[in-house]
A and B are shown apart, each in its own frame.
Chain A
Amino acid sequence: MSLAGRALAIALLALAGAAAAQEVKPGSAFLSPQMQRQQEDEARNPGWLWVEQGEELFSRREGAAPSCVSCHADPRQSLRGAAARYPQVDAASGKLMNLEGRIEQCRADRQKQPAFGYESQDLLGLTAYVASLSKGEPLAVSADGATKPFYEAGKAFYERRQGQLNLACTQCHDGLVGQKLRGDTISYGIGTGYPAYRLEWNGLGSLHRRLRACSLGVRATQFDYGSDEYLALELYLAVRAKGLALEAPGLRR
């Protein structure tokens, strides 16, 4: 490594260290003031169209199966804060489960219905609806006990260089926060706005869809929706965001 290269590497490391000590801000903090206002405006943020769909699905009955609301009566109260506690370890199976996974589990095990499928419009709608019930609630995901090994795996993923560009998440999302990457501003790796309506997608998408785009961006392996890798990463991101308000459905570029 050249002298200049070594100096740059040291500067990057110093930057990363400085950023880690700072307060982590949500993705919305890096939007224009206009987009920030639009995110908070239920008449304007298109994500609420999916929330509305989810709300309808929540009380829909299919055949003899109970509807979601049959068990989760008064969801505005009973599910307030629930989304802020995901991902979590499922006690029965010992598996790490995010909100999408929990909804699919309820559907298969309790409603005896075929799974919606990750990234289907129905699952996005239901996830957005349940997440919206916790809008404003502080994230409260644990990194201890049964979740500890998953947290460690997620942290290792975040810090590991990968892909043809040989970059770790932390290099940009801690070290270069606030700087420009082509037309966009680099934010902290925080998923509190997901599922989010991205202008680039012209629709609502999950955090895992965003992560797949990140993986592609550094020309690394794209893992499957709901894969162990992205679940562990989602957990790590949620722990990083501890105390930040959940803001789904977010609005993103």
Chain B
Amino acid sequence: MASFNARITMPAEAKAGEIVEIRVLVRHPMDRGGQVDSEGRVVPRKILNRLTVTYAGEPVFRYDMHTGVSANPFVSFTTRAVETGDLLFEWREDGGATFTRTARLVVT
């Protein structure tokens, strides 16, 4: 598979109580299964089926994805800035593989 890249766009800093928008773009073919590739082979289903986001250890967002989510999916959501800490993004792929990224939010 092509390399796993994730682009997470959010402010580096926020005031306590402020609502910040987090935008996530990730590279994945989201193979829905049953398609035929250039060599005539049937491609099995392999999608990212879940993105979980925790902020300073607390779950703040979860995205359950099925075959109706686009390739290289984009998602944006919001969270309230409460304390300086890491946002941990964890994707789970069909078959059990996981990918993680972190981004720090400094709260002033």
Contacts and interface: CB of A to CB of B under 8 A. Distances in A.
> Are both chains from one complex?
yes
Contact of B71 (A50, A121, A202): A202
Interface residues of B, number: 14
B108 interface: no
B101 to A, nearest CB: 12
B29 A43 contact: no
Contacts of A121: 2-3
B67 interface: no
A58 B30 CA distance: 27
Interface string B6-48: 0101000000000000010111010000000000000000000
Given A202-B71, A202-B72, A43 B3 contact: no
Interface residues of A, number: 15
Given A42-B7, A43-B23, 11 more contacts: A43-B7, A44-B23, A44-B74, A46-B74, A50-B27, A52-B5, A53-B3, A53-B5, A121-B2, A203-B29, A203-B72
Interface of B: 2-3, 5, 7, 9, 23, 25-27, 29, 70-72, 74
12 contacts: A42-B9, A43-B23, A43-B25, A49-B5, A49-B26, A49-B27, A52-B5, A53-B2, A53-B27, A56-B3, A202-B70, A202-B71
